[in-house]
Amino acid sequence: MAENEEIKNGQSAGEIPEETVTEETPETEEAVPEKTAEEPAKEPQKKKKKSIFNNKKFKYGSLSVVFTIMFIAGIVLINVILNLVLDRFHVEADLTSGSIFTLSDETVDYVSSLDDDISIFVTADKDELKGAGQLYAQTVEFLDKMAGLNSRFTVKYVNLLQDPDFTNNYVETLQNYQVIVQSAKTGRYRILSINDFMKYKLSDGNTYDYSEASMYVSYGGLTVTDYSSSAESQLVSAIMSVSLDDPTVVTFLTGYGESDSSALETILKDNAYVTQTVEIERVEAVPENTDILVIHGPTKDYSLDSITKVDTWLSNDGKYGKNLVFIATPDPAETPNLDEYLAEWGIEVGKGYVLQFDENHAYYTGSPLPVMQDIEMKTETAYYEAMKKSSGTSFIGYYVRPVIKLWENEGNLANVTVASAYGENCIMFPFTADENWAPSEDSFSAYDVIVEASKVQFADNNEPTYSKVIVCGGDQLFTDYFTTASNYSNGEAALSLFDANSESSGKTISIVEKSFAAETYQIERSTQIAIGITFAVIIPIAIIVIGIIVWLRRRRL
């Protein structure tokens, strides 16, 4: 009994029977040598725990996790790289009808090859602008794409409230939603209003800018039938006008009650001309950089001193090569000094309005007299060639005065008709006419409304050089209404007076305005059902099946 107790106590003390050791050791049936007195007793071998790293599930599970992490990291890396590339080169697809966010090929070619540092400043928050509507989002998109085409083209958005000192860089009063285009090479800049990019086509068939369209819709009973954007053409034109090394400079003279010339100035600026305004009485001479001079609808007579300044500039020290555009006012103003100076060039502006009695060319709108009529550009002139490049060769005259040639040729002077009223069924309605006035039968005639007078001198190489005076019979020819309305070609006619006498002709890009009118894509009923089944049934079931297969395969690992 005592021995049994000792065995029990020994086992409880942690001694393991020898049989137990031999069963657990991975030895073969070879005999185990007996222990000697000199040989110390070996420690019993303990059971080895299997490493978790040798676990089959751990191996495959870890590999799966690693591949998953690598896949996600790869996707993230690719996404970052693509975003950097897209931000730099602005690569994306325009899925809008009419591709309203896509630049024309002409613009892409021009901006890509531009050899000038062009800075664009937008006085608005970019994100706010993108969310303000299609026109504003389109402007942002165009600027981003232009910057991606040329590394020398930069765009910066300026908050005028947070950065009030920015306005000190410009003499004009800056406002929100403006685009300032500036050239580092020439130092010139132009300020555009984004709101002016939008053009509205009304129910009368004509296209107007925002202010005019608002007026006709509010007070004229017209409705908007379509609207489009001129953002691309205006941006490109502004870039051209500020970056040209030697642009044509047009100077508008003021100081004698001139009529509004803003419509004509806008046309010129949009076609790469540089305009400036000078009060002729306050300067010693017409600025030397002037290529073309404009006197726009003076309601007061010029002083002899002012006329001398104009004549000195036109003669150009006997070298000629200068041009004056004189646009008469429809008002019966007394201007004897101006009349005498024009007579020296063989031109007289009639004291009345041209009336058109050919029903095919007369319009009775707001007047009992046919003062609104078609005007024809003469085919044998450079003005005709300049105008027909972009439009037809007729435009609208409204309260236009006749321009009379006092002679055809005299000495080094020559006069040619640029434009006239259609046919010979016209008369001049005099300013002095009363209610009893009636035309005589022999008063019907053809009347010119634009005439060019020129003086010529020949250089040593016998090449002729001209100075010209182009006289227009009325400033109503070039008002906003007629120059912006799409049904009339007055804007093209006005531009031709300058293009025919300028190096700036042909330096513009013709870009079609992009319509924002919605075009719906009609899907047939059968196609709608097929698309619905595909996305609502087939694709979800396929995803579920793939998920079950993956789950079953993973369970067997």
Final residue in a domain of this structure, among 212, 228, 247: 247
Closest CA to 265 of 283, 285, 286, 249: 249
* C-beta of residue 252 within 8 angstroms of C-beta of residue 275: yes
Residue 152 forms part of a structural domain: yes
| Residue 200 domain flag | yes
Tell me if 209 sits within 8 A of 157, measured CB to CB.
Answer: no
Residue 107 lies in a domain: yes
Higher local confidence (pLDDT), 496 or 309: 309
Find the helix packing angle between 231-243 and 262-269, rounded to 10°. Answer: 80
Q: Which helix (H) or strand (E) holds 140?
A: helix 134-149
**Predicted pLDDT at 350:** 93
Please, what is the angle between helix 304-315 and helix 336-344, to 10°?
20
Per-residue pLDDT, 129 = 83
Q: Are strands 394-398 and 372-377 parallel, antiparallel or unpaired?
A: antiparallel
Q: What is the mean pLDDT of residues 149-166?
A: 89
CATH number at residue 180: 3.40.30.10
State the residue range of the domain holding 107. 90-247
- Residue-wise pLDDT for 79-102, tens only, equals 777 666 666 555 554 445 456 677
Q: What are 314's strand-pairing partners?
A: none
φ and ψ at 99, to 5 degrees? 50, 55
For 311-345, what is each residue's pLDDT tens digit? Answer: 999 999 888 989 999 999 988 889 999 999 999 99
- Greatest mean pLDDT among 36-40, 329-333, 535-539 lies in 329-333
Among the candidates 195, 227, 247, a domain finishes at 247
- Asked if the structure places residue 126 within a domain, the reply is yes
Q: Which residue, of 195, 221, 247, is where some domain finishes?
A: 247
Residue 205 within a domain: yes
112 domain residue, yes or no: yes
- Across all residues in the chain, what is the average pLDDT? 79
Q: How many whole angstroms separate alpha carbon 71 and alpha carbon 86? A: 22
Q: How many structural domains does the chain have?
A: 2
Are 467 and 322 in contact, with CB atoms under 8 Å apart?
Answer: yes
More confident residue, 518 or 408: 408
Q: What is d(CA 339, CA 401) in angstroms, rounded to the nearest whole number?
A: 14
Dihedrals phi, psi of 349, to nearest 5 degrees: -95, 120
pLDDT-based confidence at residue 7 (cuts at 50, 70, 90): very low
Render pLDDT for 123-140 as a digit per residue (tens, 0 to 9): 988 888 888 887 888 888
pTM of the entire predicted model:
0.66
Q: Is residue 7 part of a domain?
A: no
- Residue from 401, 392, 470 nearest 429 by CA: 401
347: confidence class by pLDDT, cuts 50, 70, 90:
very high
Which helix (H) or strand (E) covers residue 237, if one does? helix 231-243
Query: The tokens of 20 are what?
Result: 């137990």
What is residue 22's predicted lDDT score, i.e. its pLDDT? 44
Split at pLDDT 50, 70, 90, the class of 36 is low
Give the model's confidence band at 9: pLDDT under 50 very low, under 70 low, under 90 confident, else very high.
Answer: very low
pLDDT-wise least confident of 88-92, 231-235, 301-305 = 88-92
φ/ψ region of 320 (left if φ > 0, alpha if ψ in -120 to 50, else beta) reads left
The structure tokens 């003021």 sit at: 254
**pLDDT value for 385:** 80
**DSSP of 386-446, one letter per residue?**
HHHTTS-SEEEEESPPPEEES-SEETTEEEEEEEEESSS-EEEEETT--TT----GGG-B-
What is the rounded CA–CA span in Å between residue 413 and residue 404? Answer: 15
Asked whether the predicted pLDDT for residue 25 surpasses 60, the reply is no
Structural domain includes residue 316 = no
Give the pLDDT of residue 381: 84
Lowest mean per-residue pLDDT among 188-202, 226-240, 290-304, 518-532: 518-532
Q: What is the pLDDT of residues 166-189, one digit of tens each?
A: 888 888 888 888 999 999 988 889
